[in-house]
Amino acid sequence: MPKRNISRGFYLSLYYALARNLPSNNRYFLGKFAKRFRHHCCKHIFDKCAGDVNIEQGAAFGYGQGVELGSKSWLGINCRIGVAKIGKFVMMAPDVIIISQNHIFSDIRTPMEEQGFQFQRPVIIEDDVWIGTRVIILPGRRIGKGAIIGAGSVVTKDVPPYAVVGGNPAKILKYRKTEELR
């Protein structure tokens, strides 16, 4: 067994048994320790994990394979992450769910449980994105740079850069205004 898999297995066990359950980062002393400990575990679990990220209490990400987390990004409290590439400066509120796989259900003669799963379809979240509380992002979606996803939204389509979206299914509400460079 390759060394990386042994290391990943050890840190996965450590994360899910201990680090995940430590208090939120906003708790004084223990919170600062918890933040560093969760980050230490995740840099050995994820495919890529920048040095200045924040992984909050209760965050789950399966085995961590296929997860990339960019600089100064946050995984919110109790979030659930499938295969995803998350850019820099991404703010993720509590209870966000990123789904990267679904059941196969095309054969009505076979129970869905016995049809297996689709191939993983990674979610890509570009830089400087704000994802509100309890957002659900479906497999294969791309969230453009600078986008904002309103709380409780279900993202079923790609989100263009600088769009503000909300609802179920999420629809474009407006675009962020940008100052023209002088």
User: Which residues are marked as active site?
Assistant: 103
C-alpha angle with apex 100: 50 to 107, nearest 5 degrees?
165
- HSE-CB at 170 with a 13 A cutoff on CA atoms is 29
Cis peptide leading into 169, omega within 30 of 0? yes
How distant, in Å, are the alpha carbons of 5, 28, 54, 113, 168 from that of 43? 13, 23, 11, 34, 34
User: What residues pair up with 125 in beta bridges, in sequence order?
Assistant: 86, 143
Residue 86 and residue 102 in contact, taking contact as beta carbons nearer than 8 Å: no
